[in-house]
């Protein structure tokens, strides 16, 4: 088989993948020069596939559906050790996930910024559920799955000076001011201070995650997974300036092992398309509306039968259902 035949077969497989991804077609690219982009994607796919895989010419299959999303993308990544300065040198993210995150970043960057002032609060309402494990008394180590309602309302001080508050099904709590806002406890003003260049931003995030999850830390999470989780938490916890939101999504597109899940359902029952990352038999997903590209929520799915549940089951899920600005905790935003 000559090079021209190879190229035609690679293009056929790529086109078949895009046809199966609802809302992620080449025609939906949000900027011009689709041909150069398609050529770039083809080069990425060709480099990612082993030689034996290309010779076999088996079609690339994407399984749709909530349960089938557990094995939605048939791509194996070999992760190598990376440093905060050069995270991009490890295994590359899936091109389809990079394309989706670019579309999400464009939508986030064009959204109106919240109009806030110091002393006000950013309000977020979520619905969600999760599963915890508890050892059954006298059960010989057998574990019981206990579901919980994680729905909540949050009020985060814009500048951190007034702390934050939450209201759940079990009651309300208030928390003291943030002495030193950070990636794990961000305020709107902290997010405003971060660089909007994706490479600089990702470097800062990796420097932070390396401290707690790098070599010698004893952490089983690792910097790559923790960077993905940290970005997801920032995007879901506090409304961010549009430019910073866009930068966070583009930074996530540089994290090794990020893949696309063509279909996922959030805690509010809304279906969308997701980007995800697998770590230790669990897949963490960020779910987006297929039309607006707005973040709907997140979920974690187990990929292997265990005490947590059967393969394909959701063990935690969270949906963002309302956001706004208020003058005090407990107050709802004006409609």
Per residue in 52-102, pLDDT (tens digit) is 333 333 333 333 233 333 333 333 333 333 333 333 344 789 999 999 999
Tokens of 313: 């089951």
Would you state the pLDDT for residue 222? 86
Q: Who contacts 212 (Cβ-Cβ below 8 Å, separation ≥6)?
A: 219, 226
Whole-angstrom distance, CA of residue 334 vs CA of residue 19: 42
Would you state the pLDDT for residue 1? 54
Domain locations in the chain as residue ranges: 1-61, 96-326
Split at pLDDT 50, 70, 90, the class of 2 is low
Tens-digit pLDDT profile for residues 190-244: 999 999 999 999 999 999 988 877 777 777 788 999 999 999 999 999 999 999 9
Give the 3-state secondary structure of residue 69: helix
Residue 331: pLDDT above 90? yes
Q: How many CB atoms within 10 Å of residue 39?
A: 12
Buried b (16+ CB within 10 A) or exposed e, 326-335: eeebeeeeee
**Helix ranges restricted to H, the chain:** 3-20, 34-48, 51-56, 95-109, 188-192, 198-213, 223-237, 242-252
Q: What is the mean pLDDT of residues 97-122?
A: 97
Query: Among 22-31, 67-76, 246-255, where is mean pLDDT lowest?
Result: 67-76
Q: What is the mean pLDDT of residues 304-325?
A: 94
Q: What is the mean pLDDT of residues 123-132?
A: 96
Would you state the pLDDT for residue 221? 82
Terminal-to-terminal C-alpha distance of the chain:
63
Split at pLDDT 50, 70, 90, the class of 140 is confident
Whole-angstrom distance, CA of residue 295 vs CA of residue 107: 10
Would you state the pLDDT for residue 39? 43
Whole-angstrom distance, CA of residue 324 vs CA of residue 130: 25
Residue 179: pLDDT above 70? yes
Residue 21: pLDDT above 50? no
**What mean pLDDT is reported for the chain?**
79
Query: What is the share, in percent, of the chain residues with pLDDT greater than 70?
Result: 73
Split at pLDDT 50, 70, 90, the class of 143 is confident
The answer to whether 332 and 326 are in contact (CB under 8 A) is yes
Tokens of 155: 């009020």
Residues in the chain: 335
Half-sphere exposure of 65 (CA within 13 A, CB side): 6
Would you state the pLDDT for residue 61? 31
Query: Among 129-133, 175-179, 199-203, 256-260, where is mean pLDDT lowest?
Result: 175-179
Is the pTM above the cut of 0.85? no
Higher pLDDT, residue 152 or 55: 152
The answer to whether 313 and 297 are in contact (CB under 8 A) is no
Whole-angstrom distance, CA of residue 126 vs CA of residue 238: 12
Residue 285: pLDDT above 80? yes
């Amino acid at each position: 088989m000559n090079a021209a035949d190879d190229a035609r077969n690679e293009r056929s497989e790529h086109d078949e993948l895009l046809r199966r991804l609802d809302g992620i077609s080449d025609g939906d690219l949000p900027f011009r020069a689709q041909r150069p982009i398609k050529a770039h994607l083809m080069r990425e796919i060709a480099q990612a596939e082993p030689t034996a895989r290309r010779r076999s010419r088996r079609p690339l299959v994407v399984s749709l559906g909530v349960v089938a999303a557990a094995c939605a993308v048939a791509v194996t990544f070999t992760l190598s050790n990376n440093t905060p300065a050069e995270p991009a040198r490890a295994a590359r993210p899936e091109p389809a996930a990079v394309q989706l995150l670019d579309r999400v970043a464009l939508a986030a960057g064009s959204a109106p910024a919240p109009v806030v002032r110091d002393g006000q609060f950013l309000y977020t309402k979520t619905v969600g559920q999760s599963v915890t494990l508890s050892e059954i008394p006298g059960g010989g180590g057998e574990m019981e799955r206990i579901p919980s309602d994680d729905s909540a309302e949050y009020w985060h001080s814009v500048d951190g000076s007034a702390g934050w508050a939450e209201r759940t099904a079990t009651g309300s709590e208030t928390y003291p001011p943030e002495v030193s806002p950070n990636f794990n406890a961000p305020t709107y003003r902290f997010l405003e201070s971060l660089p909007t260049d994706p490479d600089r931003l990702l470097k800062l995030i990796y420097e932070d995650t390396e401290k707690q999850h790098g070599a010698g830390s004893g952490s089983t999470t690792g910097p790559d997974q923790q960077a993905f989780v940290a970005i997801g938490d920032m995007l879901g916890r506090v409304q961010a300036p549009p430019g910073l939101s866009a930068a966070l999504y583009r930074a996530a597109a540089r994290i090794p092992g990020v893949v696309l899940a063509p279909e996922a359902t959030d805690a509010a029952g809304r279906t969308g398309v997701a980007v995800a990352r697998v770590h230790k038999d669990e897949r963490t997903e960020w779910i987006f509306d297929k039309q607006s590209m707005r973040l709907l929520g997140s979920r974690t799915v187990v990929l292997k039968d265990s005490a947590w549940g059967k393969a394909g089951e959701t063990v935690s899920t969270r949906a963002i259902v309302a956001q706004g600005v208020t003058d005090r905790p407990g107050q709802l935003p004006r409609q």
